Chains A and B, each alone.
Chain A
Amino acid sequence: MKAVMISGRTLAQGAGCEDKMSPLYINEVSCCYLSEEDYRALGLSDGKNLLLTSPHGSAVLRAGVDRGLPQGMVFIPMGPWANMLIGTDTKGCGMPGFKGVEVEVTPTDEKVLDIRELISRGR
């Protein structure tokens, strides 16, 4: 499924902000939220993961439902997983495009990486 990805703050992401190695923070920021319709259309259920691919990178995330989302839009709480999909171009003003990234969303059996694995892949 093609979708537009936006990243942003959530309560759980904020509450875990000063305790970033905690499961609270990690679980929240490794979750990709979809509309109910898209969740059903992709045949997702509890414990199912998603592979998201953008022109800038890819990541495996857990899937969740956010009723406030329209079809065709996915939301990822800001953090290291959302940032796997974001490019470095700042359009000359210092700011990368954290919202409005075109992504391909597919269900996957791959597991969500541990934060240590995720970061060390960049070293």
Chain B
Amino acid sequence: MADDDPLDQLLTKEAFEEAKAVNPLYFVDNGVELMRYLRREPPYTNEVEYPMPGLILLDLNMPKMDGRECLTEIQKDPRLRFLPIIVMTTSNREEEVLKSYQLGANSYIAKPVDFEKLVAQVKAFHAYWCSVVELPSGKQ
């Protein structure tokens, strides 16, 4: 998960626990870090410690490199293009939604203001992405 807000990271983690979602969560603080992680650049060289994700939860508004730029970068990189990306952000502005899909996001989720709803959301997309859908193993 790429999110610059530690409290959001915490909330997501809590929601994952509450939703009994067992898949491991890895956090990065901004787009630059995310790209480094995905490209195995230091400090993310260790494959065991930092495994290739099956799914990316991407916040749009982050310092250094925001979510839109990340989407563009990932789409440009043939080794990363397969990665499913779920945009999770505060804004529900139509322009943002449209832009994200145009840039190649697979889903767009507006973060709810309500923790209960967040938990429900995590449950739902966890059920979908981790049980219903086949994800690439990331071992290309």
A, B co-complexed: no
> Interface on A for B, CB 8 Å cutoff?
none
